[in-house]
Chain A
Amino acid sequence: MNDKTTHFGYEDVSWDEKQGKVAGVFHSVAQKYDIMNDLMSMGVHRLWKRLTIELSGVRKGQRVLDIAGGTGDLAAKFSRLVGPEGEVILADINDSMLKVGRDRLADKGIAGNIQFVQANAQCLPFADDHFDCITIAFGLRNVTDKDEALRSMYRVLKPGGQLMVLEFSKPTVKALNPIYDTYSFKILPFIGKLVTNDAESYQYLAESIRMHPDQETLKEMMEKAGFSQCQYHNLTAGIVALHRGFKI
């Protein structure tokens, strides 16, 4: 039993408890995850993800791992990019999200080069040096031990491969903070209550964003895990950041 504590939003919980609590959140939101993303970000999340795909450099025949891939929007695009000779693995620790993703992609007829794996980012069940590109979009902040997850990603990435972490971060325009706080702590839970009848999950969302490392800290964490040439791009005034690092 691990006596260490960590954060679940603003709440301190034991290390072992966090995973279960996060699982509870995502079991609750899985069915309406995509609608809520559109409502909460006013559709902008699609642009953030599009930029991630374009900068990934993924091409035919490559192997891509999309961690916390949930409902599959990144995996669907990667599937087209890698083609029939390539491979996309959509991994998520939460089986409800994975089921939604699998059903969504099947409904669209996207199959053949995608596999669905329930996996913990902290101990990825893949061979060393296996993937050309690893992405984790809006998932890292939910991981209990982020350093361990980054080390695991480093292990399964091929030499020359790239890790891309798309995640909420710290706004670079200080004047935005009051508006951002009001939006996060008042409006989001209200929308969550209206659409999914689950204000608490969206309260957790807002809190977990505030507890996530800022841009420089995450960059240092990636370097400590072994990644090189680490950089980040601030998107929408730093509300979201795209971190990139390579295994050299």
Chain B
Amino acid sequence: MSLKAEVSMALTAALETAINTYLQMDPETLKRLADFSDKVIAIELQDTGISLYCLPQAQGMTIMSHYQGDADTTISGRPVSLAKLTILNDTQVMFAGEVTISGDVELGQDFKKLLENIDIDWEEHLSQVTGDIIAHKTGHAIREMAAWWRNNSKRAQQNGREYLQEEVQIIPDKEEVEAFFAGVETLRDDAARLAARISQLASSRADDKPKD
């Protein structure tokens, strides 16, 4: 048991430390974690056999890899889908069924919302090290860069897509893709109807054959 168990403990401990270090930077979120202090939230990483159990409390989060009791909520999905949900806030993964919440669904959603609303005052933390003036100027520069990226990345994506669709025509546009899929659906339904018809004819022919 020894080495594998100790490595697993080391990884869980590292994850717990990283999460708590992050949470310590937002005292408001820490206070709100107290609302979940008697709850257990399980996160099931599908296809890995790994489950993690989060036990929030006002002091931070305890993360365990084994828990004997019943979790109040289980959030289940492939690691990539869970990452999309938590890091990119891509809620489509839930509608597409890639991530499911079972048990107390409202608890799962409230917990997810709590984590999304973590608001770390990075400027305040930086000012402890560099002083207020440098922290403010750094914060201002980062906010400007982030705004430039938000404005220009969308335009860059759009320009790229239009170039590939309209100029070199190596990828279809949205309408063409939808028409193609509609055609595939129709062909599938027609094939199913044909198969049913053939089956019906074969069985009525077998019934018509004289019995010896």
A interface residues (Cβ-Cβ under 8 A, vs B): 44, 46-47, 50-51, 53-55, 57-60, 77, 80-81, 83-84, 108-110, 233-237
Contacts and interface: CB of A to CB of B under 8 A. Distances in A.
B2 A233 contact: yes
A81 B55 contact: yes
Nearest to B39: A83
A51 B64 contact: no
Contacts, number: 50
Given A233-B2, A234-B2, A59 B68 contact: yes
User: Ordered nearest first, which 3 A-B pairs have the shortest CB separation?
Assistant: A59-B69, A57-B68, A54-B66
A83 B2 contact: no
A50 B55 contact: no
B134 interface: no
B54 to A, nearest CB: 11
A51 B7 CA distance: 11
A66 to B, nearest CB: 16
B66 A83 contact: no
Nearest to B69: A59
A77 B2 CA distance: 22
Given A55-B66, A84-B38, A237 B2 contact: yes
B62 interface: yes
Contacts of B68: 57-59
A109 B59 contact: yes
Given A54-B65, A60-B38, A84-B38, A109 B58 contact: yes
- Report the interface size class on chain B: 20 to 34
Main secondary structure of the interface of A (DSSP, over half): mixed
Given A47-B13, A57-B68, A59-B69, A80 B55 contact: yes
Contacts of B65: 54
B64 A235 contact: no
Contacts of B66: 54-55
Contacts of A55: 66
B6 interface: yes
Contact of A50 (B13, B40, B67): B13
B168 interface: no
Interface in B1-30: 1-2, 5-6, 9-10, 12-13
Given A58-B68, A83-B38, A236-B6, 20 more contacts: A44-B6, A46-B13, A47-B10, A50-B12, A50-B13, A54-B64, A54-B65, A54-B67, A55-B66, A57-B68, A77-B62, A80-B55, A80-B62, A108-B59, A109-B58, A233-B1, A233-B2, A234-B2, A235-B6, A237-B2
A77 to B, nearest CB: 7
Contacts of B37: 80
B100 interface: no
A51 B9 contact: yes
B46 interface: no
A77 B53 CA distance: 13
A111 to B, nearest CB: 11
Contacts of A47: 6, 9-10, 13
Contacts of B9: 47, 50-51, 54
B6 A59 contact: no
Contacts of B12: 50
Given A53-B64, A54-B65, A54-B66, A233 B59 contact: no
A235 B67 CA distance: 20
B56 to A, nearest CB: 9
Contacts of B10: 47
- Interface hub of A51, A60, A110 (most chain B Cβ within 10 A): A51
Interface string B71-99: 00000000000000000000000000000
A41 B12 CA distance: 18
Contacts of A81: 55
13 contacts: A44-B6, A50-B9, A53-B64, A54-B66, A58-B68, A59-B69, A80-B62, A81-B55, A84-B38, A233-B2, A234-B1, A234-B2, A235-B5
A57 B1 CA distance: 17
A77 B55 CA distance: 10
A59 B69 CA distance: 6
Contacts of A59: 67-69
B137 to A, nearest CB: 36
